[in-house]
Structure 1
Amino acid sequence: MNTGRKKLEGNGLWESSRMMLPEHKVRINQLEADQKKRQRIELDEQEWAIISQLVDASLKMRQLINLQMFHETEELVVVGVVDRVDQLQSRFMVDGEWFAIRDIEGASLEH
């Protein structure tokens, strides 16, 4: 009976050794997190013009707006009425919270 050989078959070597250095675990977790990161969508001038009109309509007519926002790890949607737009700092306010204009990836008005 050759038990040493069985340890090396398939994934036997790893299965028999459950030790992992802490720095290896940190690196593995970091790689997994990096793979889950979303890339920023680049919008063209026409798309920005449409988004600008919808934000303006929400601000002036107090209409509810859905804004798809960039976030590295999750899909983020801001829903509410635009309260203010600060062109100097490139941001807008919905329900008392500021958001960066450059993070907008899409918009639609609620009917």
Structure 2
Amino acid sequence: MSKKLQGNGLWESSRMMLPEHKLEIIHSSKELKRRQPMVLDEQEWESIGRAMAQSLALRQPIAIRMYHPFEELAVIGVVDRVDNQRGRFMVDGEWFESRDIEGVEEA
């Protein structure tokens, strides 16, 4: 007797997946891996400000952990400029948003 005729074999052998279903499965699995942004308190913001000011004044490289929804990012380099009005900072000629900072370490 064929396996298709035993138990749930007929249903199992007749399944198919539409492209829309496949895309939804991929999208759902990606959403499960989404990270939430960290909420920093005043003390952490002060230590971040000190580290950035020290990097700016003494030209010391630092590693700044940045928020990204699906991966962990780090900006490593020397802080060139800080623009508090627009909420951004420049590291090695590239601007980054200050609100995306999750932490700072010495490089």
Tell me the number of residue pairs that the alignment of Structure 1 and Structure 2 aligns. 106
Corresponding residue number in structure 1 for 2:72: 75
* Long gaps (5+) in structure 1: none
Please tell me the root mean square deviation across aligned C-alpha atoms, in Å: 1.7
How far is the alpha carbon of 1:2 from its aligned partner?
Answer: 6.3
* Long gaps (5+) in structure 2: none
What is the CA–CA distance in structure 2 between the aligned matches of 1:17 and 1:2, rounded to whole Å? 14
Identity %: 51
CA contact (8 A) 1:91 1:99 kept: yes
Corresponding residue number in structure 1 for 2:50: 53
Deviations along 1:9-61, one digit per CA (max 9) or x if unpaired, are: 6xx844x2462111111111110110111110111000000001001100111
* SS of residue in 1 equivalent to 2:6: helix
> Following superposition, which runs of at least 4 residues in structure 1 exceed 3 angstroms of deviation?
none
Q: 2:26 corresponds to which letter in structure 1?
A: N
Out of 26, 30, 34, the residue aligned to residue 27 of structure 2 is 30
What is the CA–CA distance in structure 2 between the aligned matches of 1:99 and 1:75, rounded to whole Å? 15
Q: TM-score, normalised by structure 2?
A: 0.90
